[in-house]
Amino acid sequence: MKYDPIYYGDYLRLDKLLGAQEPVSEKHNKPAHDETLFIIIHQAYELWFKQILHEVDSVHKLFSNEKMDPRDLSVIVHRLNRVTEIQRILNDQINVMETMGPLDFMEFRDYLVPASGFQSIQFRMIELKLGLRQEFRLQMAKEFFNSRLKEEDKNKMNKLEEETTLLELIDAWLTRMPFGKSENYNFWEQYRLAVDEMIGQDKKIIESNRTLHPKQVEMELRNLDATKQTFDILFDDDRYNALKEEGKVRISREAKLSAIFIRLYAEEPILQLPNNLLDSLIGIDELFTTWRYRHAIMVHRMLGTKIGTGGSSGHDYLKKSTERNRVFTDFFDMATYLIPREHMPKLPDEERKKLGFVYGD
């Protein structure tokens, strides 16, 4: 053997791992059968959170370079896709948790006060490293969250608030993207003309539709005008930055334009990996949103409208945080700015060549 022999149980530290379940109900001489399940489920969550942090930290490191090596992009996409696979496991674990009924939980619930999922530092670290800063949380969470933490954990989270998030790193990376505007070609001028043409055609269709009541025509035209305003904001620095100040958008206008370009021309060879990256971020946000929603439904099933063990409003808080605590909504919103292929500006040969393989022709 090239290296010293190692034993399976020793390598995995199974003595510590399998000895780490200590039901509190047993200490009160009222052992609750389902408390072991409750502990193992949450310990498994924390192990998977550790792996997610391992992947997210590695992606942070690669994106932190002032000029990222393009070869690293496939590594980043691969690791983010691994995160989404782990998230699917986290969602599936809820199925196991739901084999425990409300009365089973009540046998040991009171022993857990004031412990709460609020105190999962690893999960809060994941949220913050991805981009969920304190300012974007529900107001009730801002006031409540830190009050339930030990001082050392509170200091750790406050320090992490000062670090750059993955969303901010990706914002900077997209801003540096060289496509869309060059010395001889401005894609965005052509794009804006294409949008105006598309909206003009839609307006004619609405006005000439004899099946619509005049009130319906009026409503449809108002909606179309709102769509036009959404596109107009994209080309207005002041209006866009005002939305950013209000927290309604989180990435810069330049980054958003780059992301739209990637989405529109995703089949171009150089843009395929960046497009996969955007898909990965959307997937992470979607799966965490699904996890929060399923968690909220499970808590409602277990507790009804009772408060949580940590003192929160339980199901009501979890339900509200499901939508609020999203990070990558800007990339979901990309679909707003996509236009049908028939309206898409045709890229000049010189620009298409930049987006292709060296030997593509």
Q: Would you say residue 43 lies in a domain?
A: yes
User: What is the pLDDT at residue 350?
Assistant: 85
State mean pLDDT over 218-222: 93
Cα distances (angstroms) measured from residue 41 to each of 21, 46, 166, 291 = 11, 9, 28, 14
Pull the structure tokens for residue 170: 């990706």
CA 181 to chain centre: 29
**Is the pLDDT reported for residue 303 higher than 60?**
yes
Its pTM surpasses 0.95: no
Q: Would you say residue 159 lies in a domain?
A: yes
Question: Under a CB-based contact definition with an 8 Å cutoff, are residues 247 and 228 in contact?
Answer: no
Pull the structure tokens for residue 50: 């550790």
State mean pLDDT over 62-79: 91
User: What is the pLDDT at residue 308?
Assistant: 53
**Is the pLDDT reported for residue 312 higher than 70?**
no
Sequence-distant (≥ 6) Cβ neighbours of residue 234 within 8 angstroms: 240, 253, 256, 257, 260, 337
Closest Cα to residue 277, out of 133, 123, 68, 93? 68
| 114 preceded by a cis bond (ω within 30 of 0) | yes
Q: Would you say residue 4 lies in a domain?
A: no
Which pLDDT tens digit goes with each residue over 313-358? 556 667 777 777 899 999 999 999 999 998 899 988 888 888 887 6
Q: Would you say residue 195 lies in a domain?
A: no
User: What is the pLDDT at residue 269?
Assistant: 93
Total domains present in the chain: 1
**Is the pLDDT reported for residue 311 higher than 50?**
no
More confident residue, 247 or 314: 247
Which pLDDT tens digit goes with each residue over 91-139? 999 999 999 999 999 999 999 988 887 789 999 999 999 999 888 876 6
Q: Would you say residue 54 lies in a domain?
A: yes
Please name every residue paired with 186 in a beta bridge, in sequence order, or none if there are none.
Answer: 181
Q: Would you say residue 29 lies in a domain?
A: yes
Average predicted confidence (pLDDT) for the chain: 90
CA distance 265 to 267: 6
User: What is the pLDDT at residue 136?
Assistant: 80
Closest Cα to residue 239, out of 296, 249, 54? 249
Which pLDDT tens digit goes with each residue over 10-23? 999 999 999 999 99
CA 338 to chain centre: 21
Q: Would you say residue 274 lies in a domain?
A: yes
Which pLDDT tens digit goes with each residue over 146-182? 677 889 998 999 999 999 999 999 999 999 988 877 7
Q: Would you say residue 344 lies in a domain?
A: yes
CA distance 299 to 118: 14
Q: Locate tokens 């409602």: which residue?
A: 300
Q: Which domain holds residue 285?
A: 23-184+240-355
Cα distances (angstroms) measured from residue 140 to each of 19, 98, 145, 146 = 37, 27, 8, 11
Sequence-distant (≥ 6) Cβ neighbours of residue 222 within 8 angstroms: none
CA distance 86 to 307: 29
Domain with 274 in it: what CATH number? 1.20.58.480
Question: Under a CB-based contact definition with an 8 Å cutoff, are residues 295 and 94 in contact?
Answer: yes
CA distance 46 to 120: 8
Question: In residues, how long is the chain?
Answer: 361
